[in-house]
Amino acid sequence: MKLLCLLPLAALAFAQPQPFTLAEAEALALRNHPAVAAARLSAEAQAQVPQQVRSALAPQLGVAVSGAAASERARIGAGLFTNPLILSRVGLGTNFSQLLYDGGRTKLLTEGATARAKGEAAIANATRAQVLLQVRQAYLLALRTQAILRVATQTISARQTVLDQVSALTDAKLKSGLDLSFAEVAVAEARLLAAQARNDSRAAVADLAVAVGLTEPAQWVLTDPPPPPALPADSQALFATALRQRPELAARRLEVEAAQRLVAAEGKLTKPTVSGFGTAGVVPAHVVAYEKDFYAAAGLSVNLNFLNGGLFAARRTEAALRARAAEQRLKEFENRLAREVAVAYLNAQTAFERLSLTDQLFKRAGLSLELAQARYDLGLSSIVELSQAQLSKTTAELQQASARYDYAAQTAALSFQLGTEFN
């Protein structure tokens, strides 16, 4: 009975909004986001390829069982069974082969596959960083929309106070109906702003849920993250940092390395290949033509291609052209990265400047509203001047509320461009 009484309380506690920090959001995204899982699995799959290529250098050992039943005259008959060695028997044996020499081609192919595996791991790191950036931006956007909603709610309250004042003065025949209409319009505009802000806040929370890998948003209470670090004074060193740490750039370099290894490997196609092989086993059931139950054999194979219709030359040319194309893609990415780093730094710098500018604007707008309110109360100005001051105050509040989160989002974008961890 006590348990049944506690169930509603437990359900109510479970339904209450839960604190949800930015660190928790990022950790949840790394666990749940399908893009992170897909990139990690692709990297793990690619990591198996070098061993597959390297296996050609390892001894190859297999077991075979074979048998045949034939009459004495089947050996001299027409058709498929015309080999004079076709005899009735059952054999069990082990076959062995070993690549002894191929000019180092398999080694080069293994090095290329290793470079591709490292490149895939770098792509997985880049995907992880991209997801973390999306989470941070979605989290900050949700906080920004909630701050705007708070401003809109406070604006409704402030303008409703003015409306009540003007309404009382209108009833006392001290203000005209025009003043009352302007005050009513101001309250309606504030309510419209709040409705839009409420919708934007819900949409931002839904985007945050998708960013962390969920299908539906939960009841979260978002908390402000620590303030972002100050921007570096020397912007010239940022590009060098990006060249060292950006995972996509590392992946491009490894792509070039793998392509160069393939060029070298294709150049080894004309080298001879030497392989050793052997077999041994027993023949437990056989005709009297076999003298012994045990058999063994060994051999050496040397293969050298002279003419193949230009196949090897075409493969070498193809590999060389693809390597040059990979080098050009690397240069193109470096050029684009330089621009992206510069733009991200400028955006972060501008967002930082907006912090102080919006503070100043908010203070001046607040002072202007106080003066406009005093002038209106004394009958020295019209409702139009007061409405304009209210609008300026609201605009300043919205910009001030947005500036902090915009700066945090821009510093996160700059950290992503540099390939550094978020602070």
**Is beta strand 294-303 parallel, antiparallel or unpaired with respect to 273-286?**
antiparallel
Question: Residue 418 has what pLDDT?
Answer: 92
| Cα 263 to Cα 327: distance, rounded to the nearest angstrom | 13
Query: What DSSP state is assigned to residue 212?
Result: T
pLDDT category at 85 given cuts 50, 70, 90 is low
Instruction: Spell out the residues 6+ positions from residue 63 whose beta carbon is closer than 8 angstroms to its own.
Output: 92, 93, 94, 95
Closest CA to 405 of 211, 171, 138, 199: 138
Residue 193, token pair as written in the block: 């702003």
Closest CA to 393 of 414, 373, 419, 377: 373
Residues forming beta bridges with residue 67, ordered by sequence position: 90
pLDDT category at 10 given cuts 50, 70, 90 is very low
Query: What DSSP state is assigned to residue 13?
Result: H
Residue 243 sits at φ, ψ, to 5 deg, of: -65, -30
Computed over every residue of the chain, the mean pLDDT equals: 87
> CA-CA distances (angstroms) from residue 50 to 47, 109, 124, 315?
7, 8, 18, 21
> CA-CA distances (angstroms) from residue 193 to 52, 149, 152?
62, 8, 6
| Cα 189 to Cα 134: distance, rounded to the nearest angstrom | 33
- Please compute the mean of the pLDDT values over residues 20-31 and round it to a whole number: 94
Residue 107, token pair as written in the block: 């080694």
Residue 169, token pair as written in the block: 């003065």
| Cα 407 to Cα 351: distance, rounded to the nearest angstrom | 5
> CA-CA distances (angstroms) from residue 80 to 65, 74, 89, 286, 296?
21, 10, 18, 21, 26
Residue whose entry in the numeric block shows the structure tokens 């001030």 = 400
Q: Which CATH number fits domain 18-47+102-270+305-418: 3.40.50.10490, 1.10.10.60, 1.20.1600.10, 2.130.10.10?
A: 1.20.1600.10
Specify burial of residue 70 (Cβ count, 10 A radius: 0-12, 13-18, 19+): middle
Listed range (65-79, 81-95, 384-398) with the worst mean pLDDT? 65-79
pLDDT higher than 90, residue 88: no
pTM for the model: 0.84
Question: Residue 284 has what pLDDT?
Answer: 80
Residue whose entry in the numeric block shows the structure tokens 């406009």 = 372
Closest CA to 343 of 205, 273, 242, 212: 242
Question: Residue 79 has what pLDDT?
Answer: 55
pLDDT tens column, 261-293? 999 999 999 899 999 999 888 888 766 666 667
Specify burial of residue 179 (Cβ count, 10 A radius: 0-12, 13-18, 19+): buried
pLDDT category at 399 given cuts 50, 70, 90 is very high
pLDDT category at 80 given cuts 50, 70, 90 is low
Residues forming beta bridges with residue 99, ordered by sequence position: 275
Residues forming beta bridges with residue 302, ordered by sequence position: 274
pLDDT tens column, 295-310? 788 999 899 888 888 9
Please report, for the chain, the start and end positions of each structural domain, with discontinuous segments joined by +.
Answer: 18-47+102-270+305-418
Q: 190 with 157: CB under 8 angstroms?
A: no
Closest CA to 273 of 54, 100, 61, 98: 100
Question: Residue 174 has what pLDDT?
Answer: 76
Sheet hosting strand 294-303, strand order edge to edge: 60-68, 89-101, 273-286, 294-303
Count of positions (residues) in the chain: 423
Q: Nearest-5° angle of CA 223, CA 363, CA 179?
A: 105
| Cα 353 to Cα 360: distance, rounded to the nearest angstrom | 11
pLDDT category at 76 given cuts 50, 70, 90 is low
Specify burial of residue 221 (Cβ count, 10 A radius: 0-12, 13-18, 19+): exposed
What is the full DSSP assignment across 240-305?
HHHHHH-HHHHHHHHHHHHHHHHHHHHTTTTS-EEEEEEEEEEEEEE-TT---SEEEEEEEEEE--
